[in-house]
Amino acid sequence: MQLHYGWDEFKNVDFMSFLPIILPVIAIGFILVLIALIDLYRHRKTRKNILLWTLIIIFVNTLGPILYFVIGRKDSDRI
Amino acid sequence: MNNFTVLAKKEFVQMVREFKVIWLPLVFIFLGLTQPVVSYYLPSILKALGGGQGITIDPSMAAQKGGEVLASTLGSQFDQLGVMIIIVSMMGVVQSDKANGMLAFILTRPVTVGSYISGKVISNYLFVACSVVLGYLVSYLYVILLFTRVDFVDLLVALLFYLMWILFIVSFTTMISTIFNSQGIIALISIVFLLGCRIVVGLSPVLDNVNPASMSKHAMEVLILGTVNTDVIWSVISTIVLSALTILVTNIWISKKKFNNE
């Protein structure tokens, strides 16, 4: 089993065969992250734990932006 | 303009303000995309990561039918992560109104409890249903692209069955959101109960007839086998009755609470 891949082996991978299929999946995840980050940036004065939320949005895959929209935005309304 | 349309409109304004109108459909599209793509690439993923020695991938196993993939989109994406996301996005539906005093304010107006609840449930249901339909259609397009065709009538019948189950999810979450005050407890109870319903499906035929989650199983059966089980009529009746019951409990709870406060 091969675990380590070098840079030159990227040339052997046929990207065009699966890129059109994978691309929408990546794009939708990216749009979610982008909307969440833009919203966080626009309300950076009133939110708490901005750094924490940024890390969650970027690194927790797809669930991060959802958690931010559901929980992260509600906290600020009470202030 | 009667009360109901005003309240439903208020719900939609609220959704736009919370960006729900953008992210909920996106999440369902994402869930709908994941299942066909992952099942299409499963053999190559296994080959690349599964430790190459001595493993052969049976080619006949990999050849899934389109209907099976679409059914597993419903069964393993929408029924787990999808249900949790619906619940989490809806847990504040009445609770936030209670918390900031909006409910008490609305009820001082000449608005019946019934039109308040029906405005809530119907507008939220329409919106969640639209998101689910969107995700389902995207999943369908991908299944056509990567696997075999699915019969369009089967697709619609399965979708209708699945939307009945969504109706129960929405009305149940609204009821729990009315009864309890903390968002965490609302989410916990709804998720445990609804996923529990989904898990016990198929254990006993008697239980299935009164279990709303069996609508999801019937939808999967329609997609896989192409035939409608005759038991579905009992499930339809019980789902409608149970949804009506939860809405009734919500109605009674709010009216009673009002009498207690004043």
Dihedral sign, CA of B60, B62, B65, B68?
A: positive
Mean pLDDT of chain A: 77
Sign of the C-alpha dihedral, residues B162, B144, A63, B120? Answer: negative
Residues of chain B short of pLDDT 50, as ranges, are: 259-262
Question: Would you say residue A12 has pLDDT above 70?
Answer: no
* B4 touches B119 (CB < 8 A): yes
Residue B1: its pLDDT value, please?
Answer: 58
A31 lies within 8 A of chain B by CB:
yes
Mean pLDDT of A55-71: 83
pTM of the model: 0.84
pLDDT of residue A76: 47
Report the residue from A18, A24, A69 with minimal CB separation from B19.
A69
The answer to whether B54 contacts chain A (CB < 8 Å) is no
Shortest CB distance from B30 goes to which of A1, A62, A69?
A62
How does residue A79 score in pLDDT terms, banded at 50, 70 and 90?
very low
Q: Measuring CA to CA, which residue among B120, B82, B118 is closest to residue B216?
A: B82
CA triple B49-B73-B55, angle to 5 deg: 25
Higher pLDDT, B231 or A65: A65
Question: Does residue A45 surpass a pLDDT of 70?
Answer: yes
- What does the pLDDT read at residue B61? 63
* Residue B133 pLDDT: 93
Q: Which residues of A touch B183 (CB under 8 A)?
A: 74
The yes-or-no verdict on residue A49 having pLDDT over 70 is yes
Confidence bin at A2 (pLDDT 50/70/90): low
Tell me the per-residue pLDDT of A29-39, one tens digit each, with 9 for 90 and over: 888 889 888 88
In whole angstroms, what is the distance from residue B238 CA to residue B244 CA?
Answer: 10
Chain A: closest CA distance from residue B98 (Å): 13
